[in-house]
Structure 1
Amino acid sequence: MRLRQPSLPVSLRVPLLAAAAVFLFVTATTQIALRLAGHRMDLEAERLGRVYLDGLSAAVLPAIRDGGRTALDQVLDRATGFYEGIRERRLVVGTPEGRQVSAAGVGPEPDWLAPFLRGNAGPAWEVSPERDAVWVQRPLKNGAEVIAILAAKLDVSAITRRRQQLRAAMLAFGLAVGVMGGALAALAARHAMRPVLGVTSALDRAGSGHIAPIPEAALPPPGTEAARLAAAFNAMVAHVAERERLTQRLAERERGAVLGRLVGTVAHEVRNPLAGMLTAVESAHAAGDNPVERAEALEMIERGLRQIERVVSSTLAQHRDSGPPRPLKAADLEDLRVLVAPEAARRAVGLDWRATLPSPFPVDAPPLRQAALNLLLNAVAATPAGGRVELEAGVEQDGGLLLAVEDEGPGLPAAARQRLGVGTASQDEARLHEARLGLGLEVVVTIAHRLHARIAVEPGRKGLGNRVALRVPPADPAAIPA
């Protein structure tokens, strides 16, 4: 895994880059100046050597024309040390064929002879590898004829030392100027960035939750880019403050709307078991002294009261069920039929019950009962008189519970499909159907999410209405005691 290297902040990176740029510029300029100065010194040394040969040639030519070896040796001996400021190591005179005729000065160096003794008979300027001596050479002519070759080995060690001293001094000066210039450039960049850094600090505070405009005393000078940036930041802060005020107002309105919806939900969920309980009371009155029917009616009333208690407790706990969970039993499905039957009879809608649950299913039963009851009541409301509503419940091969409700109505509108999470609808359609759909579908979606159930909407098998299916996975048996 490649780790990301931490980067320096802009407030440090820009001054450092400015300092580095100035330092590199000064250093490069110093190097160029040193090279130019060295080249200039080489040219001056070469010119001095050729001037030296000019003077020496005037003294050597008469002796060469006379042909006297002794006179030539004397001229060379007198010339050694004669010129002030020039120190000769060796003077050599030879023939154009490369043969030495006369010499004076320090003994010969076999590793570095005069150029004409190494085959170069023309003008020459050669620097030793140690750069402490040079050979300067010139052919001597009598008219147009070359009669001899004069070569002088000059000591330039003093010039080399002065050159090295100058190079060291210029390098030290260049480094000092580079460091000072870099520091000044860093300070200038930091000063130029100070207004931008002020805006950056304000943005950092805004990021940590302290959103406040930049005070007047800290604003950059007017007319600069930083001033425009600060003005844009202050305008953004003003917009954010206005938006927070609007958000607070909307939140207050939303709280009122949620409270109204909560009241409607409680009333909706309490009314359904109340209808079943009233039916059970009527059945108890009609049963007379029949103990079996009275026991069934009392059991129905008890389950209805527990359902109402659970709805109230769940609402007080912000829709979080705080009661102990219990598995879904076949009796719960029968209760649904009893609860829906009065509304179906009032609308002349038939009920088909295909519920097979041989053993309790490990799922929190009361919320699932609420979801199924809402689907059944919506199906009864959507089915015209003479139609039928069917409930199918059972355990599938994968171990999950299938609970499907099918109606023979006109079909779910787009807004209802959107609430169930199986379609889309425009805002106008959602507002148009919101009042007609009621709160039942919202309760179904909330409970399905809590039980990790999947919702599917399919066409009715008879070509009419819809079939809304809930597929509920089994819960942990340890969390749903029998």
Structure 2
Amino acid sequence: MVLFGLVASQQVLSTLGRLQDARLREYARLHLDGLAVALGPFVLHKDVWEVYDTLDRARANASGERILFTVVADERGRVLAATDPLRAPVDSAAAVYSDNSVPVDEVTSSKGTKVVRVAEPLSVQGREVGQIMTELDVTDLVDQRRTATLALLAGNALATLILVVAGYAVVARMLKPVELLARHMGESGGAPQPIPEDSIPRSESPLSKLLWNFNEMAGAIDARAEAERRLAERERFVSLGRLSSSLAHEINNPLGGLLNATDTIRTYSERPDVVRKSADLLDRGLRHLSEVSRAILEENRLDRSGQPLSQTDFDDLRLLFEPETQRCRLELGWTVDAGDETLAGFPSAAVRQIALNLLLNAASAAPTGGKVALSVQSRDDGLMLEVIDDGPGLSETARSRLLSPDPVAPGGGVGLRLVRDLVAGMGGAITYDRSTGRTEIAVSLPREEKTQC
């Protein structure tokens, strides 16, 4: 507003100055042209007295007090006559009185001086016979400009002050809803409280809509907090169900093989080699069940500091899984290309759980007469387990359970999610590939770095 006032004031003063200068030049030209017509013959004949008389009559007829002093000089630059003979004696040098003089077309009162000198040549029939020099009083014009400047400054200051006060009042009124919103947000303490409806302006302004939106947001946050509380409570029940399901799932599967082993002992009790082999299988299976039970009691987290993995574990898995393939009439492929030295760097229970769950899932997906294969290979950076089947592949929900860390909807088996949790806990990775009618799930387990004490 101040800048706008300054620009506007400058425009007003410029316009006033142009009008004053135009009037001053018009006045000076009329005065000098009239003197030139009257004085021309007398200056040509050097008639000093007539020149004096003409100057006196011109000053007497001039309106106002604007003409202060006039000097008439001949072609030699000597004074012929002046309105003040004492100041400009006859035959004195006229150049003294023409200092700082300007032509009529360049006369201006904007320089701030109260006296302006104007000089114009005096010609008679195209012949220059002398020069006329006049001092004009422009005090009134300078005073007018000064008065206009002060009036503009005062008016601009008053207008600016009024606009500032009015603008402050308007903005303060506009910001009241924002202050109300800021106060409620600052006092919320992390839980926004709705603004009382009687405090919200009854209008369709954007600020009123903002306050209503804040109330809706506060209600949505409360609803979300309640939903999260209910979800957390539900998740506790889901976890409990998952724990029970895992316990039943992981204990029930090996029991079939163990019962087969006890049946074998009863049937071939007279053959010590068969009894010994079945007893070893029973011992390993029972130890495995003990590890699973202890791990589930420890918040469903398998003990990774237990027995190391070995080729015997995969032999046991094959013995436990073969009855399932025979029941479904599946062709089983089994390749373990890793020695005990390599396998000993991985926990037995976790790897067996990963392999068993993937094999059971592949067996349930493969069609009757289909094929299921397990491949275990040693890599420089760890161990690679691959389970392949010729089934239709995993559904979107099943892939989410196996590959995504996002929460899953309740329902469905826990085997794939258990595999994902075990692999993630060991720092491994799972890849899923479906091509040429085959489903391949690959689990990459990194080798654990052993620190020496």
Length-normalised TM-score, structure 2: 0.73
Residue 430 of structure 2 is matched in structure 1 by: 454
Alignment of 1:366-377 (within 5 A): 366-377=349-360
- Matched residues in 1 for 2:315 and 2:263: separation? 18
How far does residue 382 in structure 1 lie from its aligned partner after superposition?
4.4
Does residue 23 in structure 1 map to residue 2 in structure 2?
Answer: yes
- Matched residues in 2 for 1:318 and 1:77: separation? 125
- Matched residues in 1 for 2:98 and 2:133: separation? 16
How far does residue 131 in structure 1 lie from its aligned partner after superposition?
5.0
Q: Say which is worse superposed, 53-62 or 106-115, in terms of deviation.
A: 53-62
Give deviations 1:444-470, integer Å, cap 9, x for gaps.
33333334223334568xxxx745342
Mark the CA change 1:26 to 1:54 in structure 2 (over 3 Å): closer, same or farther. same
Residue 393 of structure 1 is matched in structure 2 by: 376
- Matched residues in 2 for 1:270 and 1:449: separation? 23
Residue 9 of structure 1 is matched in structure 2 by: none
Check the 8 A contact 2:373/2:389 in 1, yes or no: yes
Aligned partner letter, 2:432: A
Residue 91 of structure 2 is matched in structure 1 by: none
SS at match of 1:376: helix
- Matched residues in 2 for 1:326 and 1:475: separation? 16
Mark the CA change 1:262 to 1:164 in structure 2 (over 3 Å): closer, same or farther. same
How far does residue 373 in structure 1 lie from its aligned partner after superposition?
0.6
Give deviations 1:266-324, integer Å, cap 9, x for gaps.
21112223334444444555665877666655554454344334434544554444541
**1:210 maps to which of 191, 210, 213:** 191
How far does residue 152 in structure 1 lie from its aligned partner after superposition?
0.7
How far does residue 30 in structure 1 lie from its aligned partner after superposition?
2.4
**2:417 maps to which of 431, 442, 451:** 442
- Matched residues in 1 for 2:169 and 2:76: separation? 67
Check the 8 A contact 2:302/2:349 in 1, yes or no: no
Aligned partner letter, 2:431: I
Residue 136 of structure 2 is matched in structure 1 by: 154
How far does residue 385 in structure 1 lie from its aligned partner after superposition?
6.1
Mark the CA change 1:290 to 1:85 in structure 2 (over 3 Å): closer, same or farther. farther
How far does residue 239 in structure 1 lie from its aligned partner after superposition?
4.5
Check the 8 A contact 2:381/2:447 in 1, yes or no: no
- Percent of counterpart pairs with the same letter? 27
**1:93 maps to which of 51, 72, 75:** 72
Give deviations 1:316-372, integer Å, cap 9, x for gaps.
554444541664321221121122234344445554432232223333432221111
Residue 360 of structure 1 is matched in structure 2 by: 342
Aligned partner letter, 2:447: A
SS at match of 1:264: helix
SS at match of 2:446: coil
Aligned partner letter, 2:172: R
**2:387 maps to which of 405, 413, 425:** 405
Alignment of 1:259-274 (within 5 A): 259-274=240-255
Residue 362 of structure 2 is matched in structure 1 by: 379
Mark the CA change 1:36 to 1:98 in structure 2 (over 3 Å): closer, same or farther. farther
**1:189 maps to which of 155, 158, 171:** 171
Check the 8 A contact 2:358/2:387 in 1, yes or no: yes
Q: Say which is worse superposed, 439-448 or 68-77, in terms of deviation.
A: 68-77
Aligned partner letter, 1:102: L
Mark the CA change 1:473 to 1:140 in structure 2 (over 3 Å): closer, same or farther. same
- Matched residues in 2 for 1:384 and 1:61: separation? 132
Does residue 102 in structure 1 map to residue 59 in structure 2?
Answer: no
Q: Say which is worse superposed, 321-330 or 379-388, in terms of deviation.
A: 379-388
Residue 444 of structure 2 is matched in structure 1 by: 472
Mark the CA change 1:43 to 1:111 in structure 2 (over 3 Å): closer, same or farther. closer
How far does residue 478 in structure 1 lie from its aligned partner after superposition?
1.4
Residue 339 of structure 1 is matched in structure 2 by: 320
Mark the CA change 1:312 to 1:152 in structure 2 (over 3 Å): closer, same or farther. farther
- Matched residues in 1 for 2:71 and 2:306: separation? 120
Mark the CA change 1:192 to 1:243 in structure 2 (over 3 Å): closer, same or farther. same
- Matched residues in 2 for 1:147 and 1:84: separation? 29
Give deviations 1:120-143, integer Å, cap 9, x for gaps.
7xx645249955242346788999
Give deviations 1:236-278, integer Å, cap 9, x for gaps.
4445544554555555455444433332222111222333444
Alignment of 1:46-61 (within 5 A): 46=25, 49=28
Aligned partner letter, 2:448: D
Q: CA RMSD in A?
A: 4.9
- Matched residues in 1 for 2:256 and 2:58: separation? 139
Check the 8 A contact 1:124/1:135 in 2, yes or no: no
Check the 8 A contact 2:258/2:285 in 1, yes or no: yes
The number of residue pairs the alignment matches comes to 435
Check the 8 A contact 2:70/2:133 in 1, yes or no: yes
**2:180 maps to which of 198, 214, 218:** 198
SS at match of 2:358: helix
Mark the CA change 1:200 to 1:151 in structure 2 (over 3 Å): closer, same or farther. same
Length-normalised TM-score, structure 1: 0.69
Give deviations 1:395-428, integer Å, cap 9, x for gaps.
24x54423223446x43353476347689xxx9x
- Matched residues in 2 for 1:176 and 1:305: separation? 98
Aligned partner letter, 1:329: S
Mark the CA change 1:323 to 1:356 in structure 2 (over 3 Å): closer, same or farther. closer
Check the 8 A contact 2:333/2:374 in 1, yes or no: yes
SS at match of 2:431: strand
Mark the CA change 1:406 to 1:92 in structure 2 (over 3 Å): closer, same or farther. same
- Matched residues in 2 for 1:252 and 1:131: separation? 89
Residue 37 of structure 1 is matched in structure 2 by: 16
Aligned partner letter, 2:376: A
- Matched residues in 1 for 2:325 and 2:50: separation? 149
Mark the CA change 1:404 to 1:227 in structure 2 (over 3 Å): closer, same or farther. closer
Give deviations 1:185-214, integer Å, cap 9, x for gaps.
2442232232245346556777x7322221
- Matched residues in 1 for 2:368 and 2:105: separation? 125
Q: Say which is worse superposed, 281-290 or 254-263, in terms of deviation.
A: 281-290
Mark the CA change 1:223 to 1:416 in structure 2 (over 3 Å): closer, same or farther. closer
SS at match of 1:360: helix
Unaligned runs of 5+ in 2: 89-93
SS at match of 1:108: helix
- Matched residues in 2 for 1:298 and 1:419: separation? 40
